[in-house]
Chain A
């Protein structure tokens, strides 16, 4: 049974804080499918409310993973979409949960096959610790130290009134 570690209110509060910290004239958000893309959408909404021009892109890192042989390919592989040129831009790479850092490594590899950005910063909602690579976030919504074998998931669901509700859970592997 998954245990709730952060509720809707806590997530919303940190999203607001993250959006505030990111605010600039224009922001280019690149989400890592699928959790990171959802988070990037939520940040985009909040940034636009602040009058920021937001560019969006998404990466599917399936073909860049270093464990392709051990895991099976997700049955639905989405395309990466970066329609707006990233060269010379300041990019915010967005993911939901930061763990070993391997996903970020793959995403950086893929990102650079699209062009040469001026800079790349990393924003994550939850940093759960357990890094295996020298990768650190520039912006963290929620700090949480999880046991090594735990799985941390971000959910967004509609309640009975049709309102979106965020939830972060922890479960055993």
Chain B
């Protein structure tokens, strides 16, 4: 795997492989000296055109824990010139021959676009417009499966909020098809992209109804000022009433239901504070696991693992002496 553009390009086996490596990376993160030499001498550039302290820090820590040299670049860009500056900056940085370029940009498809011009660099998608955010979804999967103690296959995830502008939603919808979990989307039509049901998910406009029988409730961040002015909903008050997650609503799903959010949360908009801080919330584990997942992704991409390696799993005898 040279690049990570999105979940779209990954097979179910490849996702499983990344999760398994992520789990072993957790071991490194939990000991006192949190560093391994796997990426010694490798250079990773974090190129972020959008602010995201969380994802950028996560990639930075991941690279450093594997002994890579990590350079952070925050580039700002004007709306009209955003494509040009992406190419210029990308080419400039690639000339410095980093082993991996981690990119966050508001332009959907920015990784596909850059990869055409930078043939020698691994490109890792840290969120491209409303397209994909694969490392977030791998993080979610690791968190969910470890919290449930079982695989996610057959589980029901209710995802609520601004699906239309969410890259996390698209990546989950693709992962659900590959790993066999079911997604119920909940939002008003103004926040749903057209024909979204063709991802194989179900769609509801009634959160109270949809939350019943859910194993995971996944709340998406709502950019309230922008969406209200774009006529996507009338007010935060009505949005929170209709699509916010609060204690009584969560009770309909039961105590086993996990609460997740890709962050940063708008408390009092899509999620009430008591729910965000409850035992059912996995939000902080999501953040912690994000580092392990990004360590796995960096290792896989920089080491250019070919797909064959994952499939040619040796059939070693596991038996112990009895």
Contact = CB atoms under 8 A, between A and B. Distances in A.
Is there direct touching of A and B in the complex, by C-beta distance under 8 Å? yes
Interface of A: 34, 38, 41-42, 45, 60, 62-64, 68-69, 72-82, 109-110, 112-115, 155-158, 162-164, 166
A75 B309 contact: yes
Interface in B26-69: 26-28, 31-33, 35-38, 66
Given A63-B28, A73-B303, A114-B32, A156 B38 contact: no
Given A60-B24, A76-B20, A158 B305 contact: no
Contact of A34 (B35, B306, B316): B316
Interface pairs A-B: 5 shortest CB-CB: A72-B309, A79-B27, A63-B38, A113-B33, A63-B36
Contact of A42 (B311, B314, B321): B321
A74 B28 CA distance: 17
A79 B21 CA distance: 8
B96 interface: no
B313 A77 contact: no
B317 A63 contact: no
A155 B317 CA distance: 8
Contact of A77 (B24, B33, B35, B37): B24
For B21, B305, B314, the residue with the greatest tally of chain A CB atoms inside 10 Å of its CB is: B21
Given A113-B31, A113-B36, A73 B299 contact: yes
A73 B309 contact: yes
Interface string B294-322: 00000110010110011111101101111
Given A34-B316, A79-B23, A113-B35, A73 B305 contact: yes
Nearest to B302: A69
B24 A78 contact: yes
B33 A114 contact: yes
Given A68-B303, A113-B35, A75 B310 contact: yes
A89 to B, nearest CB: 15
Contact of A75 (B17, B23, B317): B17
Q: Give the interface size class of chain B.
A: 20 to 34
Contacts of B317: 155-157
A109 B24 contact: no
18 contacts: A34-B316, A63-B24, A63-B28, A64-B38, A68-B303, A72-B305, A75-B314, A76-B20, A77-B21, A78-B24, A81-B27, A82-B31, A113-B28, A114-B32, A115-B32, A156-B317, A157-B319, A164-B322
Interface of B: 17, 20-21, 23-24, 26-28, 31-33, 35-38, 66, 299-300, 303, 305-306, 309-314, 316-317, 319-322
A63 B31 contact: no
A64 B26 CA distance: 15
B66 A156 contact: no
Nearest to B320: A41
A75 B19 CA distance: 11
B321 A156 contact: yes
Contacts of A82: 31
Nearest to A80: B27
A75 B320 contact: no
B120 to A, nearest CB: 15
Given A79-B23, A114-B32, 11 more contacts: A34-B316, A38-B321, A41-B321, A42-B320, A45-B321, A63-B37, A73-B21, A73-B303, A113-B33, A113-B35, A156-B320
Nearest to A72: B309
Contacts of A113: 28, 31, 33, 35-36
Contacts of B300: 73
For A78, A79, A81, A155, the residue with the greatest tally of chain B CB atoms inside 10 Å of its CB is: A79
A109 B37 CA distance: 9
Contact of A79 (B26, B35, B314): B26
Nearest to B22: A77
B31 A164 contact: no
A37 B311 CA distance: 24
Contacts of B37: 63-64, 109
Nearest to B23: A79
Contacts of B28: 63, 80, 113
B313 A76 contact: yes
A80 B34 CA distance: 13
Contacts of B303: 68-69, 72-73
A62 B306 contact: no
Nearest to A35: B316
Contacts of A115: 32
